[in-house]
Amino acid sequence: MKKNYFNINVQFNSLLFLCTALLIFFTSSVKSQESDKFIEYKGLVISKGSNNPLPFVNLVVEGTNIATVTNSEGNFSLKIDEALPSAKVTFTYPGYQKLIIIMADLSDENSVISLSPQTYELDEINISRPKNALYLVQQVFDNIDKNYADQDNFMTAFYRETINKRNRSASLAEAVVTIQKKPYARVIQQI
């Protein structure tokens, strides 16, 4: 009786070991296949004319949720699926023209992207100073309905914090936040 029990236990342990080994083998091969499916594009975004690097330029791959920003030296790193070679990436920065580039036109390493400055001519405005401070305050209260939203506003913000130690990045924290701003509600108090 002991012999049969021992044989069953050995067979079970052998089968368990074989299943575990196969599971580890297939998991590692799938993981290596997944990591091969991405292409990493790196480069620098500069201002056309001055050739100064532009920090915090927004890069968005159109039609996806893939996006990044350049660091404080203007460098970027963007990983996309290799199945998206015809995808378009949009570069935007305040005060510069938007630039759209097809990913296939970028080299994998050391792409230099130049953004052109964009100027807007503003209409002339006249500023007059009120002679009476009480009148100014009264105008502020009278125009509350015109100057504040009367419905909820939803805003999306991106936050990035880097901590550098000895000229090397020690920590990076990123977040995307959705903010709901409530409308202005006038509360009238009776005395």
- Tokens representing 93? 């920065």
- Partnered with residue 154 across adjacent β-strands are 180
- Partnered with residue 77 across adjacent β-strands are 42
Of 59, 68, 54, which is closest to residue 90 (Cα–Cα)? 59
Location of structure tokens 């009278």? 142
Asked if residue 155 lies in contact with residue 163, where contact means CB atoms within 8 angstroms, the answer is no
Of 90, 100, 96, which is closest to residue 50 (Cα–Cα)? 96
> Which tens digit of pLDDT belongs to each residue from 73-99?
999 988 888 877 788 999 999 999 999
pTM over 0.75: no
> Which tens digit of pLDDT belongs to each residue from 59-73?
999 988 888 999 989
Location of structure tokens 């202005």? 184
pLDDT of residue 35: 47
The residues, ordered by sequence, that sit 6+ positions from 16 with a Cβ below 8 Å of its Cβ are: none
Tell me the C-alpha distance between 114 and 67, whole Å.
18
Residues of the chain scoring pLDDT < 70: 1-19, 21-23, 25-36, 186-191
Tell me the C-alpha distance between 53 and 46, whole Å.
4
- Tokens representing 133? 């401070």
Question: Is residue 179 helix, strand or coil?
Answer: strand
Asked if residue 68 lies in contact with residue 78, where contact means CB atoms within 8 angstroms, the answer is yes
Of 48, 148, 63, 144, which is closest to residue 99 (Cα–Cα)? 48
